[in-house]
């Protein structure tokens, strides 16, 4: 036959053992109630003969019979027979005792198998008048007259009534066996399904981990490749730029106006290409996390002043007004000042670039009360009233009166290479990398950058940077500081 697979006990056809399934105390209580009701002894045996319940008062007749050695032996033999006699095809049999009393035996059936038996008795059958000859034969010393008197005191039970009692008890017990078996199966299956879910989960986790490792590797290779390529491209490019500059300055002899124009174009395009390569390099470094931010205590004021100074000439040349409005309130950031400068250079450069002559670009910095550390976790929002005063942030708004960005485009501009209007590429140039670098740097500082419209026209880029203290508080509070 096919080998028995695991778990076959639950979904197969293994016989149950009564003693495993039925609670003995409950069984005992049931037998007691039957005994109290009808005055007949009740015993329940498992199929291998183990006695599971035994509720009976010894009859006086039985006590007497057991005092005489010969009849004691006969009594023992009767009890053993009652335990083992095979109930017929209908599962019921009456086994006579040598005293004239009798035992009624009913088998317990579960899923078509006999799993045990109930033995009722001894009782006196309704028709019993005289003890049978077997009583006297058991031992000559037995006082038959006395035994006869004692037998008369045993209540008579009609066969019919007895069968009803037995039938009822059998049904009740079989129901208990069924329910217990069902509970047993259910608990087994619960265990099984928990184990299976755990195993499946582990499989998935392992697969995910492998994928993650592979992706990380791919990512690392990509960054490496980009970094190497950028470097390899930059070296010859620097020469092209250098030599075209020298040519333009006339070091190799005077150039005609036309030659001069060509050389300057070569130089300008070279510079543009270099910026693109530098941008890509930055982006790949930021993406792979290999650009290390040197986070140190910093204030926003000096950074912004430097940015304005750097870009003032560009603005002046384009006849765009550039103003700084800072409240100069102290707020310590944990930041890489060089990177933050890059953020605002990009934003102010864009603002000036996309604002026509006569427009205005304003950089406004304020220290404000910070929002509670983000996270919809109750745990993290807890104690906001106490923590809020400590939580400060710097909000820098770079607003211009330029061409503006349609609402639908405001998220996309942070994607690498994205430019709102491809035709604008020609008018304004650029590579479309600036804002994606901005976003990555701001993210790395635990801050946020977003775009709003400016009234009546123009754009406002809002950068919010949490103070050093806020960032420390943002660590999930359920992590013990020692582990954070």
Ligand X SMILES: Nc1ncnc2c1ncn2[C@@H]1O[C@H](COP(=O)(O)OP(=O)(O)OP(=O)(O)O)[C@@H](O)[C@H]1O
Q: Which residues bind Mg ion (CB under 5 A)?
A: 350, 434
User: Based on CB atoms, which residue is closest to Mg ion, 172 or 425?
Assistant: 425
* CA 298 from centre of chain: 40
User: Please, which contacts does 167-170 make with residues 24 or more away whose CB atoms are closer than 8 Å?
Assistant: 167/106, 169/30, 169/34, 169/42, 169/106, 169/118, 169/120, 170/106, 170/108, 170/118
336 binds ligand X (CB under 6 A): no
10 binds other proteins (CB under 8 A): yes
41, 55 in Cβ contact below 8 A? yes
- Which tokens in the block code for residue 280? 């890509």
Q: In sequence order, which residues have a C-beta less than 8 Å from that of residue 438 and are 6 or more positions away?
A: 342, 343, 346, 347, 414, 449
**Member of 7, 137, 238, 457 binding other proteins (CB under 8 A):** 7
User: Based on CB atoms, which residue is closest to Mg ion, 33 or 342?
Assistant: 342
User: Based on CB atoms, which residue is closest to ligand X, 104 or 353?
Assistant: 353
Nearest to 333 by CA among 463, 166, 469, 437: 469
Distance of alpha carbon 91 from alpha carbon 81, whole angstroms: 16
Q: 265 contacts which partner out of other proteins, Mg ion, ligand X, none, CB within 5 to 8 A by kind?
A: none
Q: In sequence order, which residues have a C-beta less than 8 Å from that of residue 408 and are 6 or more positions away?
A: none
13 binds other proteins (CB under 8 A): yes
Q: 254 contacts which partner out of other proteins, Mg ion, ligand X, none, CB within 5 to 8 A by kind?
A: none
Diameter of the chain by CA atoms? Answer: 155
What count of Cα atoms within 13 Å lies in the side-chain half-sphere of residue 285? 18
52 binds other proteins (CB under 8 A): no
5 binds other proteins (CB under 8 A): yes
What three-state secondary structure class fits 475? coil
257 binds other proteins (CB under 8 A): no
280 binds ligand X (CB under 6 A): no
Residues 406-445, one symbol each (x = binds ligand X by CB under 6 A, - = not), give -------x----xxx---x-----xxxxxx----------
Q: How far apart are the first and last CA of the chain?
A: 60
Dihedral of alpha carbons 218, 221, 227, 230, sign: negative
- Which tokens in the block code for residue 154? 């045993």
Interacting positions 220-279 with ligand X (CB under 6 A):
279
Interacting positions 169-198 with other proteins (CB under 8 A):
178, 181-182, 185-186, 189, 192-193, 196-197
Q: 432 contacts which partner out of Mg ion, other proteins, ligand X, none, CB within 5 to 8 A by kind?
A: ligand X
Residues 179-218, one symbol each (x = binds ligand X by CB under 6 A, - = not), give ----------------------------------------
418 binds other proteins (CB under 8 A): no
Query: Least CB distance from residue 198 to other proteins, whole Å?
Result: 11
User: Based on CB atoms, which residue is closest to other proteins, 204 or 269?
Assistant: 204
According to DSSP, residue 349 is labeled: H
446 binds ligand X (CB under 6 A): no
Distance of alpha carbon 447 from alpha carbon 467, whole angstroms: 10
Distance of alpha carbon 463 from alpha carbon 365, whole angstroms: 9
Query: Least CB distance from residue 352 to ligand X, whole Å?
Result: 8
402 binds ligand X (CB under 6 A): yes
Q: 420 contacts which partner out of Mg ion, ligand X, other proteins, none, CB within 5 to 8 A by kind?
A: ligand X
Q: In sequence order, which residues have a C-beta less than 8 Å from that of residue 191 and are 6 or more positions away?
A: none
Residues that bind ligand X (CB under 6 A): 279, 346, 350-351, 354, 400, 402-405, 413, 418-420, 424, 430-435, 459
Residues that bind other proteins (CB under 8 A): 1-2, 4-5, 7-8, 10-13, 110-113, 178, 181-182, 185-186, 189, 192-193, 196-197, 200
């Amino acid at each position: 036959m096919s080998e028995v697979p695991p778990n076959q006990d639950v979904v197969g056809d293994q016989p149950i053992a009564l003693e495993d399934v039925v609670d003995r105390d409950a069984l005992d209580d049931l037998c007691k109630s039957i005994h109290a009701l009808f005055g007949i002894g009740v015993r329940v045996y498992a199929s291998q003969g183990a006695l599971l319940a035994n509720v009976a008062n010894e009859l006086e007749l039985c006590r007497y019979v057991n005092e005489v050695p010969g009849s004691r032996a006969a009594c023992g033999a009767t009890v053993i027979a009652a335990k083992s006699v095979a109930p017929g095809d209908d599962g019921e049999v009456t086994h006579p005792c040598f005293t004239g009393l009798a035992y009624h035996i009913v088998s317990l059936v579960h899923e078509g198998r006999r799993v045990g038996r109930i033995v009722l008795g001894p009782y006196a059958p309704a028709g019993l008048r005289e003890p049978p000859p077997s009583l006297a034969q058991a031992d000559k010393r037995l006082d038959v007259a006395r035994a006869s008197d004692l037998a008369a005191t045993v209540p008579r039970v009609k066969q019919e009534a007895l069968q009803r009692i037995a039938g009822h008890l059998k049904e009740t017990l079989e129901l208990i066996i069924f329910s217990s078996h069902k509970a047993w199966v259910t608990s087994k299956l619960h265990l099984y399904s928990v184990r299976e879910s755990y195993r499946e989960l582990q499989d998935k986790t392992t697969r995910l981990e492998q994928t993650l490792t592979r992706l990380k590797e791919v990512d690392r290779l990509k960054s490496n490749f980009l970094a190497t390529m950028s470097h390899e491209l930059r070296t010859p490019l620097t020469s092209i730029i250098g030599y075209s500059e020298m040519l333009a300055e006339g070091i190799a002899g005077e150039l005609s106006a036309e030659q001069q124009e060509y050389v300057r174009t070569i130089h300008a395009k070279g510079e543009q290409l270099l910026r693109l390569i530098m941008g890509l390099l930055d982006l790949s470094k930021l993406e792979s996390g290999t650009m290390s931010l040197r986070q140190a205590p910093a204030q926003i004021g000096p950074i912004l002043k430097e940015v304005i100074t750097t870009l003032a000439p560009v603005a002046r040349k384009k006849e765009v007004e550039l103003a700084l409005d800072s409240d100069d309130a102290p707020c310590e950031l944990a930041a890489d000042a060089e990177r933050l400068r890059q953020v605002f250079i990009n934003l102010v450069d864009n603002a000036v670039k996309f604002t026509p002559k006569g427009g205005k670009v304003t950089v406004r910095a304020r220290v404000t009360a910070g929002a509670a550390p983000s996270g919809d976790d109750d745990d993290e929002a807890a104690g906001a009233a106490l923590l809020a005063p400590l939580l400060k942030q710097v909000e820098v708004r770079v607003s211009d009166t330029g061409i503006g960005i349609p609402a639908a485009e405001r998220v996309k501009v942070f994607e690498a290479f994205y430019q709102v209007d491809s035709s604008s590429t020609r008018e304004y140039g650029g590579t479309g990398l600036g804002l994606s670098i901005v976003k990555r740097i701001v993210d790395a500082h635990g801050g946020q950058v977003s775009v709003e419209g400016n009234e009546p026209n123009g754009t406002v880029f809002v950068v919010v940077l949490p103070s050093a203290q806020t960032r420390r508080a943002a660590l999930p509070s359920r992590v013990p500081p020692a582990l954070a």
